[in-house]
Structure 1
Amino acid sequence: MDALPIHEQNNCEYKSKIAGKAHMCGHDAHCAMVIVAAQQFAANKDKLNVNIRFIFQPSEEVLPGGAPAMIADGAIDGVDEIYGIHVLPKINEGTMQISTPVALAGVDLFEITFYGRGGHASTPMKANDPIIMACQFVNQVQTIVSRNANSFDPLVISVTAIEAGSAFNVIPDQAKLKGAIRYLSSSGEDIAKKRLHEIANGIATTYQGKVEINYFHGYPETRNDSNSSARAINSAKKALGDNNVIESKYPWMASEDFSYFAKKVPACYAFLGVKNEAKGFTSMVHEPNFDLSNEAMLNGVKYYVSLISSFE
């Protein structure tokens, strides 16, 4: 169970006690739901028709994630199917969403540094401005989405940080960019990676500079198995009602290392609605005011109980 570098702004008895660190993505809620479900199953284990393994996986927020290490340690050896849920403030409390065939996007990260020649701001002709190269990259990289990617295979490229210089009158000698690529297929990932390198190298050549590219493969896309998803959908309907289960073909473009589990065994990763405007629970995950109700978590427990009951 990992926290985030966020200073929590909620005013509640379970507010984070550590400044600048808080559970603002719901991982504490995920653990609580699984623990309560485990208590229910343990109290009725003589009635169970299936063996259950509960997995508490840390380090989802930081690459390479906790899932690969747990898989290497045998966490899912002998497991036939795997299920998980993530709280989602985009949908109302009392509902669940199950997306097929892809639940979550894959993600890669990049760090690109353009090198030029520094100089005085009054004589740019005597310098080689790396900020110009960086700005060209920010603009041109979006053509990968609009001109190279398959329009039926969504791709998102976001430049999220630019670092260059510190003075008003000095052209720096380097400019660094950081960003993320989110994709739904390996072909989309391949196109983005190939073109990103081509664009960065092309800009460096055009402006007679140099470029250093660091590209990091993150989490693959999370794919839901059709049979596991059907079981999950039926279980959610029994737990929450037919009209409260959203069957979607659209993924959430966030990413999860649950995807590694899903590559090993049939899986379904569902989203639990926690939005409740009447109670003031409307903030998105990773926001300093994110919170959810006990009732929302009980819905997750009901789903797990219904899911296990389906194995008869």
Structure 2
Amino acid sequence: MLDSLFNRLEEVFPEIVEFRRDLHMYPELSHTEVNTPKKVAEYLTSLGIDVKTEVGGRGVVGTLKGGKPGKTVALRADFDALPIQEETDLEFKSRVPGVMHACGHDIHTAGLLGVAKVLSEVRDEIPGNIVFIHQFAEEVIPGGAKFMVEDGCLDGVDVVYGAHVSSANPLGQINLKEGEAMACGDTFEIKISGKGGHAASPHLGVDPLVVGSQILLNLQPIVSRQVNPVKPAVVTVATFQGGDSFNVIPDTARLAGTVRTFDADVRDLIEASIEQIATSTANALGAKIEYNYVRGYPAVVNDPAETKRVERIATKLFGEEKIKHISKQMGMEDFAYYLLEKPGTFFWVGGKVEDESKVFPHHHPRFDVDEKSMLYIGRLFLATVFDYLNE
């Protein structure tokens, strides 16, 4: 049966490419998605799949009921874009100024719709149900997954799988990681209040830029000297703002950044240490701070059994040479919220383009991937669904 499904996926490939390119031309930012979920819902409805819209806010959930009783598998794709001006030479490049699909979410969405179409045509032979989760706002904390889970998108689901295309890995390579796979992702902001004045008379004020510089440097030993070196952690200040004139010391400055961890105790330690260091540094230099720490996505922890299942299936489909076991990474993904509720696994599928000069990382204005990655994602989803339901 799988061979016929794979052949059918090949036949509908031009259709899902067309859908993907439409999404790519008209991207929508996190929490502002209007037309994208509408298109997704209309497509699923046209397949005779039960559809719920506005799940958790802007999410779309389609449920395909099989002709035979059985368990329920959920498959997830995200559909939000990024605030980036596209710089590719693609014919279907973004038509929306300052917004582009620079992470492959258009690939995920169209690829999952292709899977939905193929499965909808054999629903009578499916021993169970399949839930298609089309998620909004993966790119922005707190993420759409949290709200979709709270709104019941996993009700009745037994297992959940997710895939992410990778522009850096060869086409069709499957990257897997059992257990801890992606880090918790938090954000912090430090607002510094000093006393501005003339740049020629710094002794009459309190320079928030100097204070901010000291805070930035003083944060570095948190990871190198406070955190157990066998426990991964990242503290990065990515924003330092203050002043707009060469001869004026500003009244305020602002630092902002991110914290990545796996261990709960390390997470607590870093949150408290940033505040303590920022406060004491500012006090020593005569300034004051406002500190805001926001806890973002939990860690992605893949179920070992389900990860082994995907590995076994992928090896059979694509060959052992296509399988790569990777180390845990400090990037974050709100797929973690689904895994807090249900067993499952999140894996990566290579989509590197043939022309090396056009290979760029995710979130880059010249990002692009091979659309044939949707076939690899689709085959692996299809085979995994039937393996699980027939178990």
TM-score normalised according to structure 2 size: 0.77
Q: Secondary structure at the match of 1:70?
A: helix
Q: Which residue of 2 aligns with 1:132?
A: 210
Q: Which residue of 2 aligns with 1:216?
A: 294
Segments of 4+ in structure 1 off by > 6 A? none
Contact 1:238–1:306 (CA under 8 A) maintained in structure 2: no
Match of 1:258 among 335, 355, 362: 335
Q: Secondary structure at the match of 2:128?
A: coil
Q: Which residue of 2 aligns with 1:309?
A: 386
Q: Which residue of 2 aligns with 1:300?
A: 377
Deviation at residue 279 of structure 1 after TM alignment? 6.6
Q: In the alignment, does 2:237 pair up with 1:159?
A: yes
Q: Distance in 2 between matches of 1:125 and 1:68?
A: 49
Q: Secondary structure at the match of 2:127?
A: coil
Match for 2:111: what amino acid?
M
Change (3 A) 1:274 1:252: farther
Deviation at residue 294 of structure 1 after TM alignment? 2.2
Q: Which residue of 2 aligns with 1:37?
A: 115
Q: In the alignment, does 2:224 pair up with 1:149?
A: no
| Equivalent residue runs for 1:53-64 within 5 Å | 53-64=131-142
After superposition, the C-alpha distances for 1:146-184 in whole angstroms (9 at most, x for unaligned) are: 011121211111111111111111111111111111112
Q: Secondary structure at the match of 1:92?
A: coil
**Between Structure 1 and Structure 2, how many residues are aligned?**
311
Match for 2:259: what amino acid?
I
Match for 2:377: what amino acid?
G
Match for 1:13: what amino acid?
E
| Equivalent residue runs for 1:87-98 within 5 Å | 87-98=165-176
After superposition, the C-alpha distances for 1:209-236 in whole angstroms (9 at most, x for unaligned) are: 1111011111111110111111121122
Q: Distance in 2 between matches of 1:165 and 1:124?
A: 14
Match of 1:233 among 311, 323, 331: 311
Q: Secondary structure at the match of 1:196?
A: helix
Match of 1:268 among 338, 345, 348: 345
Contact 2:107–2:371 (CA under 8 A) maintained in structure 1: no
Contact 1:115–1:211 (CA under 8 A) maintained in structure 2: yes
Match for 2:241: what amino acid?
E
Contact 1:26–1:87 (CA under 8 A) maintained in structure 2: yes
Contact 1:235–1:306 (CA under 8 A) maintained in structure 2: yes
Q: Distance in 1 between matches of 2:80 and 2:328?
A: 24
Q: Distance in 2 between matches of 1:34 and 1:193?
A: 38
Deviation at residue 119 of structure 1 after TM alignment? 1.8
Contact 2:183–2:299 (CA under 8 A) maintained in structure 1: yes
Q: Secondary structure at the match of 1:55?
A: strand
Change (3 A) 1:177 1:279: closer
Q: Secondary structure at the match of 1:53?
A: strand
Q: Distance in 2 between matches of 1:19 and 1:2?
A: 15
Match for 1:244: what amino acid?
K
Q: Which residue of 2 aligns with 1:168?
A: 246
Q: Secondary structure at the match of 2:376?
A: helix
Deviation at residue 44 of structure 1 after TM alignment? 2.1
| % identity of equivalent residues | 35
| Equivalent residue runs for 1:77-92 within 5 Å | 77-92=155-170
Contact 1:101–1:224 (CA under 8 A) maintained in structure 2: yes
Q: Which residue of 1 aligns with 2:268?
A: 190
Match for 1:259: what amino acid?
A
Deviation at residue 272 of structure 1 after TM alignment? 0.9
Q: Distance in 2 between matches of 1:100 and 1:133?
A: 43
Q: Which runs of 5+ in 2 are unaligned?
A: 1-78
Contact 2:145–2:335 (CA under 8 A) maintained in structure 1: yes
Match for 2:268: what amino acid?
D
Deviation at residue 188 of structure 1 after TM alignment? 2.2
| Equivalent residue runs for 1:96-107 within 5 Å | 96-107=174-185
Q: Distance in 1 between matches of 2:366 and 2:316?
A: 32
Q: In the alignment, does 2:281 pair up with 1:203?
A: yes
Match for 1:270: what amino acid?
F
TM-score normalised according to structure 1 size: 0.95
Q: Which residue of 2 aligns with 1:73?
A: 151
Deviation at residue 40 of structure 1 after TM alignment? 1.6
> For structure 1, which segment, 260-269 or 38-47, has the greater mean C-alpha deviation from structure 2 after superposition?
38-47
Q: In the alignment, does 2:91 pair up with 1:13?
A: yes
Contact 2:209–2:253 (CA under 8 A) maintained in structure 1: yes
Q: Distance in 2 between matches of 1:141 and 1:97?
A: 34
